[in-house]
Amino acid sequence: MDRFESMSVFVTVASAGSFSAASRQLRMPLPTVSRKVSELESHLKARLLIRSTRRLALTEVGESYVADCKRILAEVAEADRGASGQYNAPQGELFVTAPVVFGRLHVLPITAEFLAAYPQVDVRLVMADRPLNLLDEHLDVAVRIGTVPDSRLVATRVGQIRSVVCASPAYLRKHGAPKSPESLLKHDCVTFSGLAGAESWTFRSDQSVRVHSRLIVNTAEVAIDGAIAGVGFVRVLSYQISEAVKTGALAIVLKRFEPAPLPVSLIYLQDTRLTAKLRAFIDFATPRLRARLSDAPT
């Protein structure tokens, strides 16, 4: 059995959703496609696909294995291109992850530019507010907000963001601006559940103030909308309210009490082979992210 060929056939079957569709894509007889997948399952002593007359689905093992196969086949193709000197045109599939709002505002526009510049590269962009494990999730590169304590990761710093408190001009006109963090005790606030310490806000020198949550929501975006509507103060990351500050919908307060800014980095695994597509993305995204983060609300 040709392992690489069988893996390639399996990936095509999984992507196409059927043996017949894979047969047409590969221009390979249907019995041959079926046999190669069966041989692979026999070799692994594991079932990769659930076959029925109406549909084809991956098993739990199959879902994990198809991701591994894609990565391995991409690395083999990259090695072949490197050996033959074909480094001029990065190609293949690149897996990128970023926080949801930051990804939508900054990473997606840069990725769109990158795809236009590198037509032979495809990107799978995974938005998640929890830090994903690059190795376990088969990811090539991540945008990480905060410190990167894992020594297995290489981090390229692209900027920093602040944790800010803000409110609408209408609320400030009616209730006044706080002079110190303790002043927030007299004000209404909007908080969002799921954020650690959402009802206790920490400021410079680790000063903590328990705020009155007049409105509790489940996402930062809705909390920001509540603050714009005049409900009260909200605490979010600076990039999340950049546009609202620029348009005058929100105003930042208590600037001199803000905690230290959080670093923003592009990270990848230290022992990962720096493929042409990964190198191209890091070189492309780094200056553009730095430029975007330098244009932050003040």
The domain in which residue 126 lies consists of 92-159+262-294
pLDDT at residue 85, rounded to an integer: 58
Q: Are 55 and 171 members of one domain?
A: no
Q: Are 74 and 113 members of one domain?
A: no
- Which pTM value belongs to this model? 0.66
Residues ≥6 apart with Cβ < 8 Å to 287: none
58: CATH: 1.10.10.10
Q: Are 212 and 253 members of one domain?
A: yes
* End position of a domain, from candidates 83, 106, 125: 83
Residue 171 in tokens: 């609320």
Contact 278, 141 (CB under 8 A): yes
* End position of a domain, from candidates 53, 83, 113: 83
The residue type found at 251 is A
Q: Are 168 and 244 members of one domain?
A: yes
Q: Are 11 and 72 members of one domain?
A: yes
Total count of domains within the chain? 3
Contact 157, 273 (CB under 8 A): no
pLDDT at residue 294, rounded to an integer: 84
279: CATH: 3.40.190.10
Residue 62 in tokens: 């199959």
* End position of a domain, from candidates 83, 109, 127: 83
Q: Could you say which DSSP state residue 106 is in? A: I
pLDDT at residue 264, rounded to an integer: 95
pLDDT by residue for the chain (298 residues), tens only, comes to: 688 899 999 999 988 888 988 999 898 999 999 999 999 999 999 999 988 767 788 999 999 999 889 888 877 877 776 666 555 578 889 999 999 889 999 999 999 999 999 999 999 999 988 888 887 788 899 999 988 877 788 999 999 999 999 999 999 999 999 999 999 999 999 998 755 556 789 999 888 999 999 999 988 889 999 999 999 999 999 999 988 999 999 999 999 999 999 999 999 988 766 788 899 999 999 999 999 988 665 5
pLDDT at residue 272, rounded to an integer: 65
Reduced to 3 states (helix: H, G, I; strand: E, B; else coil), residue 127 is strand
Torsion of CA 240, 241, 243, 245, to 10 degrees: -160
Reduced to 3 states (helix: H, G, I; strand: E, B; else coil), residue 55 is coil
